Amino acid sequence: MLSKKQTDILHWPYTGRTALICDGAVRSGKTSIMSLSFILWAMGNFNNCNFGLSGKTVGSAERNIIQPLLSITYLRQNFNMVYSRSTHQLIVSRGKKQNRFYVFGGKDESSYMLIQGITLAGVLLDEVALMPRSFVEQALARCSVSNAKFWFNCNPDVPEHWFNKEWILHAADKDATHLHFTMEDNPSLSKETIDRYKSLYTGVFYQRYILGLWVAGDGVIYDMFSRDVNVYTDEQRPQGLPYLAVRHISCDYGTANPQVYLDIYDDGERVWVDREYRWDSRKERRQKTDSEYADELQTFMGADPQFLCPVIVDPSAASFILELQRRGVYVTQGDNNVPDGIRRVAQLFSRRVLMIHDTCEGLIGELGSYVWDDKAAKMGVEKPVKTMDHGPDALRYYVNTALPKWRYGEENVI
Ligand SMILES: Nc1ncnc2c1ncn2[C@@H]1O[C@H](COP(=O)(O)OP(=O)(O)OP(=O)(O)O)[C@@H](O)[C@H]1O
Ligand SMILES: [Mg+2]
C-alpha cells in the first residue's frame, strides 16, 4: 500500500518535469519509493544506459538504496538484478533490455574520479543535503543523455543551505517538482511508532526531523539539558555503579586548548558521566607533553585491573593515541561526526538518560555555553561555535562511538 505522496513519486516521470525533490521528516518513505520509481522509469524508457545512484557514502547508498531494492518482490519477479560489491554496479535487465546503475558516495574521493568520466541518463541523490555541492554539480553535469532526470531527497538542514536556496526555493525555475513529506506519508508506520519518534526530538531537531522544516538552531545547542534532571549528586549515584556498568574514558585532546577526560559508565539504561579531568594549559600557563598526559590518564583510570577500560580519543590526536598504545592502553578512535553526535546527545539529555555528576563542573559549564554558530548558519553551514567545546566534544565522541544506536532510539533512523 502506498500513500498519496508516494503514488505521486511513482507517477512523477509522466509529468515531463526534469527534477523531483522530496524533502521532509525522517522515516517518511522518501528513499524507498523514490528508488523504486527511479528503476521503473529507467527500465521503461532507456536501454544500454548508465545511471547514478548516490548516497552520502557508497556504504550508505548500499544500505539505504541497493539492499532495499534487491528485496522488493515486484522488482525481483519482473527484472533480473545483479549487484556487484566490488565494482559497485547494479545491472538490471529484462529480456533484451539492460541498464547499469553505478553507486557513488558524495563524500568518497574515489567517486569523484569515477563520476567525472561517465555519461548518465539520470541520477538519484539520496540525502543530497549531506553531499558536497561540487559532487552534486558534477553528477548533474554528467546527465547529458536526452530526457535525463534528476531525483533528489533529503532531510532539512539550515535554511541558507545551498540546496534549499537553489533548488527547493526555486523549484519552478529549475523545472522541478517539490514534494514535502511527514511521517504520516509513510503508511507502514503505526501511530505508536510515529509517537515514539516524536518523543525523541525537541527544539530545532523536532522541527527538522519530525516537521521536516528548514530551520536554523538558535542559541544554546543543548537547551534541553537541565541541572535539575541531568545532574546527579553522590547521594543520587546508583550504588555499585562501577560493578554493574560498562566503563569508558572519553578524551578531547588539546595542547593549547584544554585536555579533558570523562569517566563514563553505562548501566544499560542510563549513562553516567561520573568524573572529569581537565588541564587548561593557557590558564595554568604550562603545556604538558603527551607522556605527561598519558601518565595522568592512567592515574585517572586507576590501576585496578577490574576497572581498566577502553579509552575513546579525539581522532585527530595521532601522537597521543600512539603514546597510549605504546603503554598498552586500549584506544578507540572517536567518531567525529558532529551533526550526528549533537543530535544523539540531545536525544539522550531530553530522555533524561544521560546524567552528569555535579563535580564535572567544566563539562556542565561548557554545556551551558555550547552554542550554534549563527554566522556559519547564514553561510549555509550548521556547526557549533568552536570555543569552550572540549567537554561536549568528549561527550560526543563517546555517544557516537560506544553506544549502540538503539540507545538513542535510532536503530533504523538514518
Ligand atoms: N508504502 C510502504 N509500505 C511498506 N513499507 C514502507 C512504505 N514506505 C516506506 N516503507 C518503509 O518505511 C521505512 C522508512 O522509509 P524510507 O527509508 O523510504 O524513509 P525516508 O523518508 O527515506 O527516511 P530518512 O529520512 O530517515 O532517510 C523503510 O523501512 C521503508 O521500507
Ligand atoms: Mg532516506
Residue nearest to atom 4 of ligand 1 (CA): 188
Distance 32 CA to ligand 1 centre (A): 5
The answer, yes or no, to whether residue 413 has pLDDT greater than 60, is no
| Residue-level pLDDT at 314 | 94
Vertex 157 angle, CA 152 and 158, to 5°: 130
Q: Rounded to whole angstroms, how far apart are CA atoms 394 and 313?
A: 8
Distance 208 CA to ligand 2 centre (A): 14
Residue nearest to atom 23 of ligand 1 (CA): 27
| Residue-level pLDDT at 105 | 96
Which ligand has an atom closest to residue 25 CA?
1
| Residue range 175-213, pLDDT digits in tens | 999 999 999 999 999 999 999 999 888 889 999 999 999
What average pLDDT does range 111-129 have in this prediction? 93
Kindly report which listed range (110-119, 250-259, 284-293) carries the lowest average pLDDT score.
Answer: 110-119
User: Under CATH, what is the fold of the domain 4-190?
Assistant: Rossmann fold (3.40.50)
Residue 155 CA, closest ligand 1 atom number:
25
Q: Which three cell numbers stand for residue 198?
A: 516524536
Residue nearest to atom 5 of ligand 1 (CA): 188
| Residue-level pLDDT at 378 | 94
From 1, 62, 186, the mutation candidate for ligand 1 (largest count of ligand atoms within 8 A of CB) is 186
Who's near 229: CB < 8 A, 6+ residues apart?
Answer: 352
| Residue-level pLDDT at 112 | 85
Vertex 225 angle, CA 223 and 226, to 5°: 115
Residue nearest to atom 14 of ligand 1 (CA): 27
| Residue-level pLDDT at 414 | 39
Distance 127 CA to ligand 2 centre (A): 7
Average confidence score pLDDT of the chain: 95
Residue 209 CA, closest ligand 1 atom number:
25
Q: Are 396 and 341 in contact (CB under 8 A)?
A: yes
User: Under CATH, what is the fold of the domain 227-408?
Assistant: Nucleotidyltransferase; domain 5 (3.30.420)
| Residue-level pLDDT at 408 | 84
Q: What residue spans define the domains of the chain?
A: 4-190, 227-408
| Residue-level pLDDT at 411 | 65
Distance 20 CA to ligand 1 centre (A): 17
The answer, yes or no, to whether residue 351 has pLDDT greater than 70, is yes
Distance 28 CA to ligand 1 centre (A): 6
Which ligand has an atom closest to residue 30 CA?
1
What pLDDT band is residue 406 in, cutting at 50, 70 and 90? confident
Of the chain, the percentage scoring pLDDT greater than 90 comes to 90
Distance 146 CA to ligand 2 centre (A): 28
Of the chain, the percentage scoring pLDDT greater than 70 comes to 99
What is the pTM (predicted TM-score) of this model? 0.88
Task: Find, among 92, 103, 117, the residue nearest to 42 by Cα.
Answer: 92
User: Phi/psi at 162 (nearest 5 deg)?
Assistant: -55, -35
What average pLDDT does range 37-44 have in this prediction? 98
Q: Which residues line ligand 1 (CB under 6 A)?
A: 1-2, 6, 26-33, 68, 155, 181, 186-188, 413-414
| Residue range 314-333, pLDDT digits in tens | 999 999 999 999 999 999 99
The answer, yes or no, to whether residue 156 has pLDDT greater than 70, is yes
Q: Do domains 4-190 and 227-408 have the same CATH topology?
A: no
Residue 413 CA, closest ligand 1 atom number:
26
Q: Rounded to whole angstroms, how far apart are CA atoms 105 and 263?
A: 36
Catalogue the E-assigned strands of 170-279. 176-181, 231-232, 246-252, 259-266, 271-279
Task: Give the number of residues written for the chain.
Answer: 414
